[in-house]
Structure 1
Amino acid sequence: MAPDPPPEYGPGFLTWLRETTEAAWANVEEPSLDDFRSAGFIGATWRRGTRWTGPLDDETITQLERRFGVHFPPDYRLLLQTLHSTTPWRRGAHDGTVDLVEYRAPGFYDWLHEGTCIRARMQAVADRSEFAEELDLHYGGRRWLEGGPSPQLLPIYAHRYVVDDDSQWVLSIVGGDAIVYGENLRAYLLAELDDVLKASEDRP
């Protein structure tokens, strides 16, 4: 059984996260297309042997900020310095014309090699008006309304975004639907990787 996570976000927590998730990924079962079909499951799953690719050094991270025109907030910068991204891409299935079709999807984004995916995700939330009123209504903060200050949204995984402001939020945004998926990066990582962490707890 894996030890409990450190109570505070920092290098110790991220090291624990690397060790715990990689131990679980080393033994994860990879479903076949028939398994997806039988389960009626649409989506992507982790691959056996998935690992974190980090660390990135400070110079590389600064170069990435210039390349993408972004600023990485301190907590996300620490994640890049420690873990960065996952490899290989996840494997999944979605509806085809007649049957399920297999596909690949990135895990935690690789800012060095997955620029096309990252830019597409940034473009998907370029029009803040689609979700700004919903965020303001449910979570407060006039900064999300049109004409107000506009925090950067940094893709981290799928349609999840780290907010570059003092809120420390991680948002999940699909079209006009937006929720706070994690009140800070630690809470987000524990929620996003909950199934992986539970698998690690089940190990003898």
Structure 2
Amino acid sequence: MLIPTNTVSFFKWVKKRSEHYWSKEYQDSIASKDEIYKCEKWIIGAKWVGLTESQIEEVEKKYQVTFTDKHKAFLQILHSIDRKEVNEYLEEDPFFYNWIRDEEEIRYRLNWAFEQILFDILNPRCNFWLKSWGQKPKSEQEKEHIFKEQFAKSPQLLPIKSHRFIVNDHQNTILSIWGSDTIIYGQNFRHYLLNEISEHLNLSTEERKEVDALNAKEYKSIEYQKIPFWREIISSNS
């Protein structure tokens, strides 16, 4: 295997590969060869900014969350970068959420899944409702009440990037949530990062073959992935 399978080794590999790709020296060296490999200007020179153990403990207390061991490793080695992403509208967005700096965005995203799905439940055009919730009531108040009870049973979701969330349990599955349009975006951190930031890893032909093989394996097993509450929502979109 060219791409590390051990979680910590993989995170360190991602850090080394991406920072090398973002380096000005590397970008200058390839600029005259093939423009397709040029980074966007905003990210040239970027560095990952990991968290210390004490910072992670402070974040857990502040947001009343508890990170899994693998999530802690991600936060210590990668976490976020030292700048924000400049989008097509020249606005700044977090590349990956910074739990120290991006409080407003993180608090917004912590409520995102609940608010998004509730919107689809109450929106007559979507009319979203799961069979396991019982007969759908007519009043909006009763729909919201039942949904709150059901959602309270779901595992906590923690924001990573944009509307991507990690299911905060031992599986560390990553979901993409846009209203009730919820899909599994990665079976674990390794699977997720190899797809989410593949263009920043400057993968070789052989490494791309490994990623393709990984995708074939992981996506085939998605239908068997058991995620409390979210499994039924994901299946409803299949």
Higher helix share: 2
Larger radius of gyration: 2
What's the % identity of the aligned pairs? 32
CA contact (8 A) 1:163 1:170 kept: yes
**So what's the TM-score if we normalise by structure 2?**
0.63
CA contact (8 A) 2:155 2:169 kept: yes
Alignment root-mean-square deviation, CA:
2.7
Residue in 1 aligned with 2:49?
53
Query: Separation in 2 of the partners of 1:87 and 1:5?
Result: 25
- Return the offset for 1:158: 1.0
Residue in 1 aligned with 2:81?
86
Residue in 1 aligned with 2:39?
29
Decide which of 186, 192, 199 is 1:195's aligned counterpart: 199
Note if 1:14 corresponds to 2:24: no
- Return the offset for 1:194: 1.1
Residue in 1 aligned with 2:141?
none
Residue in 2 aligned with 1:178?
182
Gaps of 5+ in 2: 28-37, 122-127, 133-148, 206-238
Equivalent position amino acid for 1:118 in 2:
I
Query: Separation in 2 of the partners of 1:133 and 1:81?
Result: 39
Query: Separation in 1 of the partners of 2:154 and 2:192?
Result: 22
Note if 1:71 corresponds to 2:66: yes
Higher strand share: 1
Post-superposition CA distance 1:132-190 (Å, at most 9, x none): 978x9xxxxxxxx9266221111011111011123320011112211110001111111
**So what's the TM-score if we normalise by structure 1?**
0.73
- Return the offset for 1:52: 0.3
Query: Separation in 1 of the partners of 2:10 and 2:165?
Result: 20
